[in-house]
Copies of this chain bind each other. A is one copy, B any other.
């Protein structure tokens, strides 16, 4: 089924739902999903509308133009997507393979809708996995000295492949502010703690030292402030005194995989709306 998706946010006022629904119905579209949310404190209206465009009277390439007057009347921020478009994805990895593997398998099985166009890493270790899945692997070592050049190489590759979304699958490098701004709300990271607990390095070590009874993982959009971007998804698992630091790390990997995969899935299906430093996830 071919569908169009509108992600909308605007100041809340009367008649917005009617206008959006009329735009679709009057042009012979059938709404499949209509998800709406209002932040009553801030008076903002959010919506995700997905409709069947098989018999829609406006051709795909004209929909945005046709919707614009409505959007302007309500001062909407909006984006239009198509359900059958497969986003072009880059995965950044370091030495740890568990999230990378997991993502590749989910892309291959079709659970994640998108095409992994390239893998970037500052280490050569995971190349065999990329080979197995038939994806080009670019080894771009990074040091303090060459960081800017390395990022330029990366940006060139991303542009060349027309990348829509970047997934940091336990990529242990911090991206520059410039890099992040080029892909605002399109870089997804997995952090191995339930943020805001244990931001930064070695969260499992610190969780172990603190003697917590649960550990977790957090997937978020990357912003220029480390581990403070909008949270997309979090989950946790119980630990006890019986668990060593190695057990924390092992158990954490299971949660990292799942949390990252959920966040990526929602992102690729245009179910995430960012506002301020928070997300609305229309799951």
Contacts and interface: CB of A to CB of B under 8 A. Distances in A.
Contact of A111 (B32, B111, B196, B250): B250
Given A210-B277, A212-B234, A241-B37, A22 B30 contact: no
Contact of A17 (B13, B17, B211): B17
A21 B101 CA distance: 44
Interface residues of A, number: 67
- Give the number of copies in the complex: 4
Nearest to A229: B211
Given A14-B28, A17-B25, A278 B214 contact: no
A236 interface: yes
Contacts of A216: 214
B22 A33 contact: no
Contacts of A28: 14
Interface of A: 12-18, 21-22, 24-26, 28-38, 40-41, 97-98, 101, 105, 109, 111, 132, 194-198, 210-214, 216, 230-236, 238, 240-242, 244-245, 250, 254, 258, 261, 276-281, 283
